[in-house]
Structure 1
């Protein structure tokens, strides 16, 4: 390399003319050729590296394919895989609003799974849509619902559609929901359960169907607002469900304007389960009595109305008694009766000779009146009530403990056939009640008791430091389990005992020490019991 060439190459920036000799030109040309050769060599190495990387990726794919072929799930017959999908998509671990999501997930894993999923009609037989939980389902076209339900291939359907507007910023047009309902009613012939809530106008395509449209329908849940729309549009009542031969379950959520029951023509004689919930102003007794008179096949009856001063309860007419000969379960709220025409709570108007399960939920009715209601009901029905549960019963002061306990004892003495009793004792004199349940050579309270549960039930604002003791718990349990001699007057053997609360630990240990074979379970809290 000449001095001139070296000088030029060492300069980062060349300004001015360049003067090169023949040797300089030859040298620079050789440098260019050498650099180009190196580029070619490097490019060859890059191509070889890329080729090796592609081969590596291909081998990885081959390995995945081989593992996929060897996977145990691949050897599972389609029928078994389909059954797995059914179990996964109907698992109780998923809430109803996630049932569709699980179906979409299993059908999106691979082509084989998608084909199997689409050939499994049962996983497409449930559709649960909520305006608040699935807002994207209502944007754009809703024609997808037809494809979803078509894949059910005639399998009985459960359809849940909640289009109540909760978010004021929700601007989904109502016609979109109506289109969805129109698609759904096209499958009315295979619908087994239908649950719908929202604006009455949205569901008009459903209410305008003829009476023989639901041959498989077994259950309905309705929460329609405003109910007056149906009364106005259907003066002869909605006939859609009248000729549903398998309809057995009806649940309605009453509103403040008018009763849904007033607008529905129903096969009352076929209903076995009736649930009425809501906050309707109960200023008229005739409507509820009217349907109860006709539902002679009811097995389960639930009537829940909200508690509050703004809600009135006119009660029932005691002189108009009605008989439900098949009723086995009654779950009602106990309200104070208001209005000029003094009515009574449901128990005083009802005769149910085969009632076995009685659940009362306190909504302000005086306790002594409830005890009287139970006594009157029992004197007319002579029912063999086996399970008695009372919820939300509470006092406002500690001084009420004796009064509440006395009322409770009056209820229990009226129902001597009770076999299952759960006692939340926070507001009661628990020890006094336990003493009355203890066998001392005379018949105790609840002589037929076989399952007993004891737990706390403190109302809001209750001073837990004033808790009454439970000194007679051990003696009560042992008096009903340990038999040293034949005694015809002795109560039934107590078969199962559940104690919820850390304060019962010593009692549980003491009882099991004396009666080691007894079925007794102790939990620190009721929540711990639910997690087992």
Structure 2
């Protein structure tokens, strides 16, 4: 215990014997009694008695240093402190942004700012630094230090897999992409929402850059009109191959709009993907439906699938080629608005999914005769036994719409009794 008494500050965990704690408590009581005596002497002394004031201040510092040794955080093993920090960060993992960083990111910064002991414990916990979420709203948020901050952040994560979520505005002029490219081989989850020009550094990486990638979400909405499909194809004749060797990829999400289809140019292993989300509500190329049908068709291991089809109607010529998904359990399809695109009917015309359990259909158009027909044929073909049926924004309030809704729910009457129908 003697070595702790001589330290001006304690920056790490300490170990005390039971008799050490008793001795410290006795020393604190004695110091407090001495402080009380000094206080009483000061009451009857001149306010200008600097010696008495200095003695009192020294005694206050002495009591604080002794109490610091007994602080529970100083007596906890580093492993327990780290566990507490990780739990704290997990319950403060709210989807809220402050100052360009995710609230969960701010929490980690706070832990390093309380005291030296907390900072050392946080920096010695790689799990706290294996995830980074950054949001840059526009030019005013751009920081020349973004790259350095991200590099320092990930350098604290040891050799752990990394989860990265970056959202950049089209006016962003920082250089944060350069930082995490150096750690690409360790990235397990990658979510990027950014203009195409900020994605260019990725495109030139070798195809083996993301060997640990399991989750990929790409959001290229609000792209510059310059990046049409013709421009992409002229630059990357063989497609975008940086994820081609990501053999552990299980979760894929694409969110895009405009006249070019990034998914058409993106090459990645599709055999082992179990979750797919496509959001293409505001896409305006006739190639989009074909690309999405072909993508789903090639992912025969899918378990969860969500597709928000374009609101514009385009002809689909390959609706007779089957989509066989033997492991599919949940499916969400969104089509329409005020236009009957026919994508939902075409999809079910091709689909075979015997294990489908959860079905969510979102459709605001009015002409559903063909869709109801294809859904009935899918039910007969796949013999899927649903446990959940959810119809959103469906059929409006028309009489024919209500009749069609009754036809759909009658296909899975057991859901009304044993499962969930909304």
- Fold agreement, TM-score > 0.5: yes
Residue 303 of structure 1 aligns with which residue? 307
Bigger Cα displacement from structure 2, 314-323 vs 106-115: 314-323
What SS is found at the alignment partner of 1:143? helix
Is the aligned partner of 1:414 residue 2:418? no
Q: For 1:208-219, list aligned pairs within 5 A.
A: 208-219=204-215
Partners of 1:317 and 1:343 within 8 A in 2: no
Residue 161 of structure 1 aligns with which residue? 166
Deviation at 1:68, TM superposition (A): 2.9
Correspondence for 1:292 among 296, 301, 310? 296
Residue 18 of structure 1 aligns with which residue? none
1:453 and 1:274 map into 2 onto residues whose CA distance is 23
Residue 367 of structure 2 aligns with which residue? 366
Distance of aligned partners of 1:60 and 1:76 in 2 relative to their CA distance in 1, 3 Å threshold:
same
**Structure 1: 4+ residue segments shifted above 6 A:** none
* Residue correspondences, number: 363
Q: For 1:13-32, list aligned pairs within 5 A.
A: none
Distance of aligned partners of 1:273 and 1:207 in 2 relative to their CA distance in 1, 3 Å threshold:
same
Residue 184 of structure 2 aligns with which residue? 188
Residue 95 of structure 1 aligns with which residue? 95
Higher Cα Rg: structure 1 or 2? 1
Cα shift readout 1:89-133 (whole Å, capped 9, x = no counterpart): 222652262121001000111111111111100110111011129
Distance of aligned partners of 1:118 and 1:406 in 2 relative to their CA distance in 1, 3 Å threshold:
same
Correspondence for 2:244 among 242, 245, 250? 242
1:305 and 1:67 map into 2 onto residues whose CA distance is 64
2:165 and 2:388 map into 1 onto residues whose CA distance is 32
Deviation at 1:161, TM superposition (A): 0.9
What runs of 5+ residues in structure 2 fail to find an aligned partner?
1-44, 97-101
Residue 70 of structure 1 aligns with which residue? 70
Partners of 1:318 and 1:343 within 8 A in 2: no
Cα shift readout 1:109-165 (whole Å, capped 9, x = no counterpart): 111111111110011011101112996562446312111101100111111111123
1:78 and 1:135 map into 2 onto residues whose CA distance is 40
Distance of aligned partners of 1:189 and 1:365 in 2 relative to their CA distance in 1, 3 Å threshold:
farther
Distance of aligned partners of 1:364 and 1:453 in 2 relative to their CA distance in 1, 3 Å threshold:
closer
2:276 and 2:116 map into 1 onto residues whose CA distance is 45
1:343 and 1:105 map into 2 onto residues whose CA distance is 49
What SS is found at the alignment partner of 2:193? strand
Distance of aligned partners of 1:227 and 1:91 in 2 relative to their CA distance in 1, 3 Å threshold:
farther
Distance of aligned partners of 1:231 and 1:185 in 2 relative to their CA distance in 1, 3 Å threshold:
same
1:451 and 1:338 map into 2 onto residues whose CA distance is 30
2:401 and 2:53 map into 1 onto residues whose CA distance is 82
Correspondence for 2:156 among 151, 154, 158? 151
What SS is found at the alignment partner of 2:271? helix
Distance of aligned partners of 1:453 and 1:330 in 2 relative to their CA distance in 1, 3 Å threshold:
closer
1:161 and 1:324 map into 2 onto residues whose CA distance is 32
What runs of 5+ residues in structure 1 fail to find an aligned partner?
1-43, 419-445, 455-532
Q: For 1:508-523, list aligned pairs within 5 A.
A: none
Partners of 1:314 and 1:337 within 8 A in 2: no
1:343 and 1:86 map into 2 onto residues whose CA distance is 44
If asked which structure has higher relative contact order (CA below 8 Å, sep 6+), I would say 2
What SS is found at the alignment partner of 1:293? helix
What SS is found at the alignment partner of 1:269? coil
2:420 and 2:356 map into 1 onto residues whose CA distance is 20
Deviation at 1:316, TM superposition (A): 6.5
Residue 383 of structure 1 aligns with which residue? 384
Q: For 1:216-365, list aligned pairs within 5 A.
A: 216-224=212-220, 225=223, 226=227, 228=229, 229-278=231-280, 279-281=282-284, 283-284=286-287, 285-305=289-309, 307=311, 311-314=312-315, 317-335=318-336, 336-338=339-341, 344-365=345-366
Alpha-carbon RMSD: 2.7
Partners of 1:375 and 1:414 within 8 A in 2: yes
TM-score (norm 2): 0.78
Residue 33 of structure 2 aligns with which residue? none
Is the aligned partner of 1:450 residue 2:404? no
Cα shift readout 1:254-291 (whole Å, capped 9, x = no counterpart): 21121111111111112111110031125233222222
What SS is found at the alignment partner of 2:154? helix
Residue 14 of structure 2 aligns with which residue? none
TM-score (norm 1): 0.63
Partners of 2:389 and 2:421 within 8 A in 1: no
Distance of aligned partners of 1:227 and 1:105 in 2 relative to their CA distance in 1, 3 Å threshold:
farther
